[in-house]
Amino acid sequence: MTDRVIRPSSLTTWADCGRRWASQHLTAEVEAAGYKLQVQRVTHVGAAIGSGVHAGASYTLEAKRSTGELGNDTEAEQRAVAEFEERAEWGLDWDEASDNVSVAKRQIARMTRSYRRHLAPEIDPIIIEQRLEANIADGWTLSGQMDGTTGDPDTIIRDLKTGTRQRANNIQYGAYGLILHAHGYNVRGLIEDFIPRVKIKDEQPRPHSTEIPLQAAAMDAMETMEDIVRSTAEFERRLLSQTGRAPHSAFRANPGSSLCSPRWCRAWGTDFCTAHRK
């Protein structure tokens, strides 16, 4: 049997709502158990823009690692926009900050320029978006590729985030630290570089860099992953016994979550979750 895979980026979803996590990351198992989930929604514009900016940043760092220079400005922006267009092929879920294709492309271009101006000159790109895996339990693998991993894994590494607001991603970074240590790296610190996505009429803010307390984040990540493994095992046990509590309640729901809505959760309004307010 193929190991189940936990992505470090999914840990913040689990911390917010275990049942939403299961609907996203154990979809096949949940549906095989007889639950019918909501149809997968189209990609949110924020995710598509983030992928575009990361593509521009990746080109920039690869050029710097190869030549010592940042590469061509136009090429970086074109690659960023091309990645966005690929992600947007099947439609996008728009929001107030980015409400059409033209605006999104302009935002991508200026966010890419911000990265190249303020962050790339300070970064030593020893590793760039390298995927690594580690076994965390019987039948479970932790697999991570930081969105924009750069730096020296034996000292300090960095990760790039974008969005309308900076979120708390510490447990995600703690999981990355665990993977790197499992592969023999002695990473001692991690910095999150955040580029805000703001309305096109507003001036593009400078990036903000935040140092992550890696040791504490790693401990929280381990606790979170152990909770995922335990809850999934309990879900399977209840399916086999067919007595006692409902299998889906093995995954705790959080109806107080700001993402508890049909827009963000495939479990919302289904027999897999009725904990939300109607």
Report pLDDT digits (tens) over 261-277.
Answer: 999 999 999 999 999 87
pLDDT of 126: 72
pLDDT string in tens for the chain (278-residue length): 578 999 999 999 999 999 999 999 999 999 999 999 999 999 999 999 999 999 999 999 999 989 999 999 999 999 999 999 999 999 999 999 999 999 999 999 999 999 999 999 988 877 766 788 999 999 999 998 765 556 666 678 889 999 999 999 999 999 999 998 898 888 888 999 999 999 999 999 999 999 999 999 999 999 999 999 999 999 999 999 877 899 999 999 999 999 999 999 999 999 999 998 77
pLDDT of 219: 97
pLDDT of 155: 75
Report pLDDT digits (tens) over 52-66.
Answer: 999 999 999 999 989
Task: State how far the alpha carbon of 65 is from the alpha carbons of 46, 58, 152, 153, 181, in Å.
Answer: 28, 10, 12, 15, 23
Half-sphere exposure of 148 (CA within 13 A, CB side): 28
Phi/psi region, residue 54 (left: phi>0; alpha: psi -120 to 50; beta: rest), is alpha
* Ranges assigned E (strand) in 81-232: 92-93, 132-137, 140-144, 150-151, 156-163, 189-196, 208-212
Structure tokens at 86: 């690929």
Which residue has 């067919």 as its token pair? 242
pLDDT of 146: 65
pTM (2 d.p.): 0.91
Spatial contact of 50 and 83, defined as CB atoms under 8 Å apart:
no
Spatial contact of 175 and 144, defined as CB atoms under 8 Å apart:
yes
Q: How many residues does the chain have?
A: 278
